[in-house]
Amino acid sequence: MATDEFGNPAFTKINQDSEADKNDFDLLAAGVHPNIGWPAGNFGHGCEVSSERFLSRFEGPYLYSTDMIADVPTVITPQLLSHAMTYEQYRTLMDDLLAQHRTTGPDQSEALVKYTELNRHRMRKWDKIVVLNPEFVQLLTAVDKPMIWLVLTEAWCGDAAQNLPAIAKMAEANPLIQLRLLLRDEHPAVMDAYLTGGSRSIPKLIALESETLRELGTWGPRPAEAQQLVVDYKHNPNGRTREQFYEQMHAWYARDQARQVQMEFAQLLRTWKTV
Q: Could you tell me which residues come within 8 angstroms of residue 26 by beta carbon, excluding any fewer than 6 positions away?
A: none
Residue 6 lies in a domain: no
Share of the chain above pLDDT 70, in %: 74
Residue 198 lies in a domain: yes
Residue 4 lies in a domain: no
Q: pTM of the prediction?
A: 0.77
Confidence of residue 274 (pLDDT cuts 50, 70, 90): confident
Q: Within the chain, where are the H helices?
A: 19-30, 51-55, 72-75, 78-82, 87-99, 110-129, 134-141, 158-172, 188-192, 224-235, 242-256, 259-272
Residue 7 lies in a domain: no
Task: Output the pLDDT for position 57.
Answer: 30
CATH number of the domain to which 184 belongs:
3.40.30.10
Where in the sequence is the domain holding 154, given as residue range(s)? 19-272
124-161 per-position pLDDT tens digit: 999 999 999 999 999 999 999 999 999 999 999 999 99
Residue 30 lies in a domain: yes
Residue 11 lies in a domain: no
Q: How many domains does the chain have?
A: 1
* Count of beta carbons in the 10 Å neighbourhood of residue 234: 12
169-228 per-position pLDDT tens digit: 999 999 999 999 999 999 999 999 999 989 999 999 999 999 999 999 999 999 999 999
Residue 5 lies in a domain: no
Confidence of residue 49 (pLDDT cuts 50, 70, 90): low
